[in-house]
């Protein structure tokens, strides 16, 4: 069994958080051009090679995103989310259609994950199946799935084969990690077992999945980064890498980047997920000498990147690439500090970006970080 040295993210860490231009994103200003004209996109990630670099075909990077029709209250998009395939050249995006055919997933919608191109010509698509196909109203049962469609490149086109088995590869165990199976709930109000991110450890070649999870520590559930290792033909859950001990109940999209032989663990979380409140929506991170820890918070507090105070919800769901580009999506462009989840539909829709945010770039120096031009 791999020995994980769990790190506790505590109030003492967050007390070190300070306003700093080096960790503050510039204001976005006007909403960027939409990736898809009639669909919202959020939670973007590259189809990656096994070394972590983005897959490039015909001079274009392959990407996936969550997507839903661009109508109604933006927060309802989570109840209609589908995985979508894109090609990227610089700031230009090409629509390659849904990743899976209608009805392929066992869930009522598809939530975030990752994708890895395999040597046999398939793509391992790890994602979160949420709810149950055909349910009368959305529920929140979450499990980690894998499908391995063939990557087809003919006549200059790129697509994924519609014939692929969808298998549950990982569930919360109900003990170390709480079951994410609520019937009622919504963003920020449910337990988590989602957002799988694949990683091959260069130290020993082993495959791992990082998963956003909830643990039963203390009086209320807490956000955590779960770790699973591919062992003897199955994914085996290990102890958590990081637990937000009493400070945050919803860590999202954890992933690891190796830089200068150190392991950088990143995740995002929103200002509404902190208790007590006070920390900003942002990208947070930790660093260790081994995948299994122990980790120390970057910049003392864990904060790597925050939205500017005048636009506290301007972007979210950041993903750090192997070359330290940081990709997120444009969220709510408003400066009044109102919780967007509680705004009337028309008002929320008017300020919602629903598209890729301007790309940022990160500098890493041991346990300190900064945004670079």
The annotation places the binding site for substrate at 42, 112, 194-195
Using CA atoms, how far apart are residues 270 and 313, in angstroms rounded to an integer? 8
Are 311 and 28 in contact by the 8 Å Cβ rule? The answer is yes
Are 224 and 214 in contact by the 8 Å Cβ rule? The answer is yes
Let me know if 31 is exposed, middle or buried by CB neighbors in 10 A (0-12, 13-18, 19+): middle
Q: Do β-strands 109-117 and 39-48 pair in parallel, antiparallel, or remain unpaired?
A: parallel
Copy the structure tokens of residue 43.
Answer: 């939670």
Neighbours of 18 (CB within 10 A): 10
216 Cβ contact partners less than 8 Å away, ≥ 6 residues apart: 178
Are 291 and 199 in contact by the 8 Å Cβ rule? The answer is yes
18 Cβ contact partners less than 8 Å away, ≥ 6 residues apart: 301
Using CA atoms, how far apart are residues 361 and 368, in angstroms rounded to an integer? 14
Buried b vs exposed e over 35-44: b needs ≥16 C-beta within 10 Å? bbeebbbbbb
Using CA atoms, how far apart are residues 16 and 11, in angstroms rounded to an integer? 9
| Residue of 259, 272, 277 lying closest to 367 (CA atoms) | 259
| Residue of 79, 69, 9 lying closest to 37 (CA atoms) | 69
**Which segments are annotated as binding site?**
42, 92, 112, 194-195
**Which segments are annotated as binding site for Ca(2+)?**
92
């Amino acid at each position: 069994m791999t020995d994980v040295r769990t790190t506790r993210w505590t109030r003492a860490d967050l007390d070190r958080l300070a306003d700093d231009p080096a960790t503050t994103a510039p204001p976005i200003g006007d909403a960027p051009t939409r990736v898809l004209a009639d669909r919202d996109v959020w939670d973007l990630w590259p189809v990656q090679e096994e070394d972590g670099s983005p897959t490039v075909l015909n001079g274009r990077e392959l990407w996936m995103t969550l997507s839903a029709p661009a109508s109604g209250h933006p927060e309802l998009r989570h109840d209609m989310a589908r995985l979508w395939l894109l090609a990227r050249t610089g700031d230009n995006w090409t629509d390659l259609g849904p990743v899976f055919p209608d009805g392929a997933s066992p869930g009522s919608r598809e939530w975030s994950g990752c994708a890895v191109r395999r040597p046999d010509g398939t793509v391992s698509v790890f994602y979160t199946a949420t709810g149950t196909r055909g349910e009368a109203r959305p529920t929140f049962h979450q499990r980690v799935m894998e499908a391995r469609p063939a990557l087809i490149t003919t006549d200059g086109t790129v697509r994924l084969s519609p014939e692929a088995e969808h298998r549950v590869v990982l569930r919360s165990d109900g003990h170390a990690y709480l079951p994410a199976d609520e019937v009622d709930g919504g963003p920020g109000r449910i337990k988590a077992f989602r957002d799988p991110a694949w990683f091959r450890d260069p130290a020993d070649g082993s495959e791992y999945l990082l998963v956003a999870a909830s643990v039963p520590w203390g009086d209320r559930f807490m956000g955590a980064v779960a770790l699973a290792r591919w062992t003897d033909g199955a994914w085996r859950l290990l102890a958590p890498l990081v637990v937000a001990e009493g400070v945050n109940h919803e860590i999202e999209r954890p992933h690891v980047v190796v830089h200068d032989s150190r392991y950088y663990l990143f995740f995002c979380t929103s200002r509404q997920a902190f208790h007590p409140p006070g920390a900003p929506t942002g990208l947070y991170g930790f660093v260790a000498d081994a995948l299994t820890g122990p980790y120390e918070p970057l910049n003392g507090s864990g904060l790597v990147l925050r939205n500017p105070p005048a636009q506290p919800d301007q972007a979210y769901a950041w993903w750090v690439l192997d070359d330290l580009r940081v990709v997120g999506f444009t969220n709510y462009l408003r400066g009044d500090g109102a919780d967007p989840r509680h705004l009337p539909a028309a008002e929320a829709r008017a300020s919602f970006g629903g598209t890729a945010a301007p790309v940022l770039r990160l500098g890493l120096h041991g346990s300190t970080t900064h945004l670079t031009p």
